[in-house]
Amino acid sequence: MSLRDGWRLAMGTLTRVPVRPPGVIDRRTAATAMLSAPLTAVPAAAGVALLVWLGQEKALAPLVAGLLGVALLAWVSRMLHLDGLSDTVDGLTASTDRERSLAVMRSGTAGPAGVVALVVVIGLQSVGLAALVGQEHGPWLAAAVVIASRAALPLACTRGVPAARPEGLGATVAGSVPRVPAVVVWLLAAGLVWAAALLPGFDLGGLLAPVLAALALASCLAVAVRRLGGVTGDVLGACVEVSLTVLLLAVSSVGLV
């Protein structure tokens, strides 16, 4: 039952695909949901790959393909990750006091810092996808990094990473994933990126992409634990967006580095 309930929790939380609610939501269900996160991104990854391919076929301008790709990801995820990024940045910049920062994040309104973060991240992701239009294996790279970016979730929910507050999505999934499965999922996701980037030939950007994304994720988690006391649902969304941005910036340099 935990597998089915975990898959339903993952799809119902991370996508707009309509699914029946899980029968039981416990630590095992939460762990299964987070470990399943990369698989939930497969349909969106296919859509982004199609847009990059359309750019290669001159049916779309590269930047249009990139912007539409980011819009598709936002739509499929119900803006969940972007909203988390905005709220997290607003909370961290609003105050050095933990409770005040969490209160700002809970409010759900976008402040100046959150808006700037969204503009920068959406811009970087769009440009990164646009750059893949010029790469022979661009569609495969685009699909790989979208799927791999969701591997940030099991790592961020690994046992030992606390929840910032006792309620909310973060409290449900924080610390629920055993370390070994989390690392295995990350390695599989990294392998997908390496396959798409390196099989045509060695490239430093493709080789470093998952490593740089993991370092960026570790930095995000360190800041969240130090400033907020742990992760929240917003922090998890921010981790996904930061990971995707770093992956795109790295792989878009394939053939250039």
pLDDT in tens, 37-93: 999 999 999 999 999 999 999 999 999 999 999 999 999 999 999 999 999 999 999
Global pTM reads 0.95
Residue labelled with tokens 């893949």: 132
pLDDT in tens, 82-94: 999 999 999 999 8
Per-residue pLDDT at 118 = 97
Q: Which two tokens stand for residue 248?
A: 């795109």
DSSP-assigned letters across all residues of 32-94? HHHHTHHHHTHHHHHHHHHHHHHHHTTSS-HHHHHHHHHHHHHHHTTTHHHHHHHHHHHHHHH
- Give dist(CA 175, CA 208) in Å, integer: 27
